């Protein structure tokens, strides 16, 4: 299904584990509670998609566009999101432990209550992101831009903040 046009499709509760959806158009698609374990969604367009409660563990979302997407409560543990656009996305209470978010755009994203322990956020754009009560323990935030981010109540024990920009 590589490069498939699934814009506005309703795929809720489907099992798409290990599917190759790289380069696909999933703009505005309903992927609520979908299983996309180890799926390839690299360079896919998921703008405005509903992925709430989806299981994307170990998935490849590198270079994907997920701005304004709803990923609340989604499992993205150990997923590859390097270079992805998650600007203004809702990742509240999402599981991103061990995820690769290298140079990912999370500006204005809602990450309140998100689990980011051990995640690689090196060079990530987190300006104006909501990280209220997020778990960033052991996360790699070296070189990340956290200007204007809300870190109140966030867990930052053993996090690497070398060269991170933290001014408000």
pTM: 0.96
pLDDT > 90: percent of the chain: 98
Report how far apart, in Å, the C-alpha atoms of 112 and of each of 2, 32, 121, 122 are: 33, 20, 16, 19
| Cα three-residue angle 157-58-129, rounded to 5 degrees | 45
* CB count in 10 Å sphere of residue 143: 17
> Buried b / exposed e across 4-33, counting CB within 10 Å, b at 16+?
bebeebebeebebbebbbbbbbbbbbbbbb
User: Could you tell me the pLDDT band of residue 167, with boundaries at 50, 70 and 90?
Assistant: confident
- Return all residues near 145 (Cβ < 8 A) that are at least 6 apart: 124, 125, 126, 127, 164, 165
Q: What is the pLDDT of residues 80-96, one digit of tens each?
A: 999 999 999 999 999 99
Answer whether 85's CB lies under 8 Å from 67's CB. Answer: yes
């Amino acid at each position: 299904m590589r490069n498939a046009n699934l814009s506005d499709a309703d795929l809720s509760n489907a099992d798409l584990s290990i599917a190759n959806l790289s380069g696909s158009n999933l703009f505005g698609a309903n992927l609520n509670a979908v299983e996309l374990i180890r799926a390839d969604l690299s360079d896919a367009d998921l703008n405005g998609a509903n992925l709430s409660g989806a299981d994307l563990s170990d998935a490849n979302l590198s270079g994907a566009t997920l701005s304004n997407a709803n990923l609340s409560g989604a499992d993205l543990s150990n997923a590859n999101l390097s270079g992805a656009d998650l600007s203004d996305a809702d990742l509240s209470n999402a599981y991103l432990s061990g995820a690769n978010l290298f140079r990912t755009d999370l500006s204005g994203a809602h990450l309140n209550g998100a689990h980011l322990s051990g995640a690689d956020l090196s060079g990530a754009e987190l300006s104006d992101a909501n990280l209220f009560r997020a778990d960033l323990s052991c996360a790699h935030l070296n070189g990340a831009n956290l200007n204007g981010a809300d870190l109140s109540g966030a867990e930052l024990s053993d996090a690497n903040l070398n060269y991170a920009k933290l001014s408000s």
